[in-house]
Chains A and B, each alone.
Chain A
């Protein structure tokens, strides 16, 4: 066994895989829908604008082909949003914070609170409309080491931020 030389019994350590994660707010679905609509409205507008450029002279078949391709990508994008929604969840433990997301590739990020350099709570216009917020945790690590938790209610985000600030303050 690869672990045989350890004197600490790994099996007795707290297990991150057994932690029950809290799903993010259901209202986040609406935020995702808005984000999706705005993004694809812009894409559609750009495409239509492009067709009206003086030098662009596409045949109807080409236009139909490109539009269907864009539509397909948009539908897949929406589908992925919906499928991944129920896996978006988080948990706060005494010493660390866990955030999981993704359906195609499921990613579980775990950040020890003692490694958090600073954290911030942001909310876009759409998020504010639904009373949601995004919590960002920054560590000293590379870009991939920072954690962004979306879909929290404003209260949850504020509470988490408070706990983290207290925790990191105590540790210093």
Chain B
């Protein structure tokens, strides 16, 4: 592909229309799901027939919308070396992304992309413009555009496609995720989170059905909830076990799909991460763009010694949590390799700065107590909300454990925090990556000479709650000294 191909305003390949249609359909379906559910449970009469016909129109509307979106989507690279993306028929929108600001080019393939040999390009840049500019191309085109952009930026990029060869860049495969670890990772996923999502989803579904048809509801659902749930302990047990089983299966499948075929390599001056079974992703993380590194494990994973590591780099702030790429560490021995280009782990045999015990009591008084009152009030009117008490107990214990585990250590170069409640959550930050700091004190903290420190970096913020004011001041003074004597990029 020659360079000047990209300088002409052009549409995405016709094949991309499939994906545009799929995305439009998903959006339309999301909007109309409550309507469809209520239609399903409505008694059939002439009026609802009209609704059924309307429902059948949805895919047609989505198709038209997709064609319009496709027709009015154009992109090119202008002579100022900016990527320009134009879209919209009525509300014309133009995204201009200077190539010099692009920190990384990400190639993603969802299952539909793979079927049609397409790839979606997104860009990491400071601010949100890069993530907004999404371009779907055929895979060779996507690789060519990525190659072109990275060449323009002169990032010392190595090609993924076999046609382009740059042998001078050293590729060092760090490790692949083996199937046993993948299964372990799936089994130890955050089932509790999924449990509450399934519970909330089930409840909202019940409510939807209830409002859609009181007749059906009375016959089936009321019988189920009224008779089985409230009158029989066995019933409660069965339903709980069912929800737990569903949650475990969902989180297992989700994790396995996400981390199958995972591999990480150091390529030139960056990490190359590939992951995903159905939706594949390839992300390049330049070492110099990493602001801080964190790794965490939930309670189950601490037992299985499995960690998920995350490189917090520039341009990742706007990325949704579930889209962030994490590196599964099957052994802590892999950690030094991940930190090799940043800063080695700090020794833990020195005395650490800890969170003051007042943190726990203040959190209980200011957060847990008001929440308890709210839950009890709501549950008085709707017994279902007694479930929320489980969450509250969980939070109460979490707060206590958080203060117990929190340990902050630092040396001249870096800051190392160990925290977590049931699980472990650790991070390492080089002082000079800091953008700004703030010290917060409530009236209580002022009286007791305590303070909370917030450290802002270009990869996210770090909070250090309830430490002695003297320590906070010293730490901030040192952070300022380091940031003011060293550049961050």
Q: Do A and B bind each other?
A: yes
Chain A residues engaging chain B, CB cutoff 8 angstroms: 1-8, 10-11, 13-17, 95-96, 104-112, 114-115, 117, 139-142, 144-145, 147, 171
Residue B488 interfacial (CB < 8 Å): yes
- Interface 1/0s, chain B 350-372, versus A by CB < 8 A? 11110000000000000000000
Which of B317, B412, B435, B439 is most buried by chain A, counting CB atoms within 10 A of its CB? B435
Check B436–A107 contact: CB distance below 8 A.
no
A5 near B411 with CB under 8 A, answer yes
Residues of B with C-beta under 8 A to A145 = 435-436, 456-457, 461
A140–B435 touching, CB < 8 Å: yes
Q: At the interface, yes or no: B441 with Cβ under 8 Å from chain A?
A: yes
**Which of the residues B353, B484, B488 comes within 8 Å of A95, measured between beta carbons?**
B484
A141 with B443: CB separation less than 8 A: no
Closest to B435 in A: A141
Q: Are B436 and A110 closer than 8 Å at their CB atoms?
A: yes
Q: Which of A106, A144, A147 contacts B454 (CB 8 A)?
A: A144
Is B478 in contact with chain A by the CB < 8 A criterion? yes
Report Cα–Cα, A109/B455, bound state, in Å.
Answer: 10
- In-complex Cβ contact of A140 among B446, B458, B471 (8 A): B458
A105, B474: Cβ atoms closer than 8 Å: no
In the complex, residue of chain B having the shortest beta-carbon distance to the beta carbon of A108: B439
Interface check B310, CB cutoff 8 A: no
Is A114's CB under 8 angstroms from B437's CB?
Answer: no
Mask: chain B, 287-322; 1 = CB below 8 Å from A; 0 = not: 000000000000000000000000000100100000
A13 contacts which of B352, B460, B478 (Cβ < 8 Å)?
B478
Cβ 8 A contact of A104, one of B314, B442, B457: B442
What 7 new A-B contacts, CB under 8 Å, besides A13-B477, A117-B126, A142-B458? A17-B473, A96-B484, A108-B439, A115-B435, A115-B436, A140-B126, A142-B457
Which residue of A11, A16, A112, A147 is within 8 Å of B483 (Cβ)? A112
Given contacts A95-B484, A114-B487, A141-B457, contact A10 B474 (CB under 8 A): yes
Whether A2 and B473, one on each chain, are in contact in the complex, defined by CB atoms closer than 8 angstroms, is no
- Nearest residue in B to A4 (C-beta to C-beta)? B350
Smallest Cβ distance from B299 to chain A, in angstroms? 28
Contacts of A171 in B (CB 8 A): 487
A2 & B350 in contact (Cβ 8 Å cutoff):
yes
Which of B436, B446, B461, B476 meets A106, CB within 8 Å? B446
4 closest A-B pairs by beta carbon, nearest first, are A145-B456, A141-B435, A141-B456, A111-B436
Chain B interface residue number, banded: 35 or more
User: Nearest CB to that of B437 among chain A residues?
Assistant: A110
Residues in A with CB closer than 8 Å to B442 are: 104-106
Interface string of B265-280 (1 = CB under 8 A from A): 0000000000000000
Whether A142 and B460, one on each chain, are in contact in the complex, defined by CB atoms closer than 8 angstroms, is yes
A15 CA to B487 CA, complexed, in Å: 21
Between A and B, 12 residue pairs with Cβ closer than 8 Å are A2-B351, A6-B478, A8-B481, A10-B474, A16-B477, A96-B480, A114-B484, A115-B483, A117-B126, A139-B456, A140-B458, A142-B461
> Which A residues touch B471, using CB under 8 A?
2
Which of B317, B411, B484 gathers most chain A CB within 10 Å? B484
Interface positions, chain B 397-437, Cβ under 8 Å from A, are: 408-412, 434-437
A145 to B409, CA, bound (A): 23
B143 CB, nearest partner CB in chain A, Å:
29
B483: A residues at CB distance < 8 A = 112, 114-115
For A111, the chain B residues whose CB sits under 8 A away are 435-436
Q: Chain B interface (Cβ within 8 Å of chain A)?
A: 126, 314, 317, 350-353, 408-412, 434-443, 446, 454, 456-458, 460-461, 471, 473-474, 476-478, 480-481, 483-484, 487-488
Residues of B contacting A112 in the complex (Cβ-Cβ under 8 angstroms): 434, 436, 480, 483-484
State the Cβ distance, A20 to closest chain B Cβ, in Å. 15
State how many angstroms separate the Cβ of B48 from the closest Cβ of chain A.
28
Does B476 lie within 8 Å of A16, measured CB to CB? yes
In the complex, the chain B residue whose C-beta lies closest to that of A18 is: B473
Residues of chain A within 8 A of B457, CB atoms compared:
141-142, 145
Most A-side CB within 10 Å, residue of B352, B410, B458, B460: B458
Residues of chain A within 8 A (CB-CB) of B487 are: 114, 171
B365 to chain A, nearest CB (A): 15
Write out the residue numbers on chain A whose beta carbons fall within 8 Å of the beta carbon of B351.
1-2
CA distance A107 to B438 in the complex (A): 7
Which of B126, B456, B457 has the most chain A CB atoms closer than 10 A to its own CB? B456
Contacts of A106 in B (CB 8 A): 440-442, 446
Given contacts A141-B436, A142-B461, contact A16 B473 (CB under 8 A): yes
- Assembled-state Cα–Cα distance A139/B437 (Å): 11
Nearest Cβ distance between residue A18 and chain B, in whole angstroms? 9
User: Which residues of chain A are within 8 angstroms of B473 by Cβ–Cβ distance?
Assistant: 15-17
A15 to B480, CA, bound (A): 10
CB–CB B409/A2 < 8 A: yes
Alpha-carbon separation in the docked complex, A53 to B156 (Å): 66
Contacts of A14 in B (CB 8 A): 477, 480-481
Closest CB in chain A relative to B60 CB, distance in Å: 38
CB distance from B132 to the nearest CB of A (A): 17
- Asked whether, in the complex, the Cβ of B440 is within 8 Å of the Cβ of A95, the reply is no
Nearest Cβ distance between residue A12 and chain B, in whole angstroms? 10
* Minimum distance in angstroms from B357 CB to a CB of chain A: 17
A8 contacts B412, CB within 8 Å?
yes
Q: How far is the CB of B194 from chain A (nearest CB, A)?
A: 28
